[in-house]
Structure 1
């Protein structure tokens, strides 16, 4: 669900390429989605708890659900230097990775 919501957000709100990466880090699974847009979506920012969505709305809850279901999260806004190609990386950590 976390990967799907992050990918859907990138697909709906960017016009350029995006990519998914899933890795095990420190006993957790980290799901990250990179896209070329530097804007951090409001649903992922710290003020997410104050975002109000009408009960009948079909959009607007995805990134708040990601925040609620993940153990940790973050965002890195990337410069256009080197291999990063700029943009941003939204990532979430979830659950323990079985060893």
Structure 2
């Protein structure tokens, strides 16, 4: 998809960020979730929406030590390390947005 827009250099990073955010949504919500990829303000934005309004611990800087022997728990640290900016929109209204949250991360500059 990114090749068609001349953004092939961002493919690996965008795929990693999408995979980590989608995996987190899959593991921690029993409801539907969706991926969004778009250009915002000159950057490529990868976002994942799910119906759970709670923001996962570790999406923002959390200061917890890394357990190097654990099988999980490093995905959101990886997201923080590989993204330039990140944010969350909590959607509490059940109208058009269907509630939940949208976690988004920006990577690379779009020229």
When the two structures are superposed, what TM-score results if normalisation uses the length of structure 1?
0.91
Pair 1:38 & 2:53 matched: yes
Segments of 5+ residues of structure 2 without an aligned counterpart are 1-15
In the TM superposition, 1:1-99 aligns within 5 A as 1-47=16-62, 50-98=63-111
Aligned residues: 96
Task: Give me the CA root mean square deviation.
Answer: 1.1
Distance 2:67 2:107 in 1: 28
Moved over 3 A (4+): none
Deviations 1:56-91 (A, max 9, x none): 111001011101110100011101242110001100
Task: Specify every segment of 5 or more residues in structure 1 that has no aligned partner in the other structure, as ranges.
Answer: none
Question: 1:29 and 1:8 mapped to 2: Cα distance?
Answer: 20
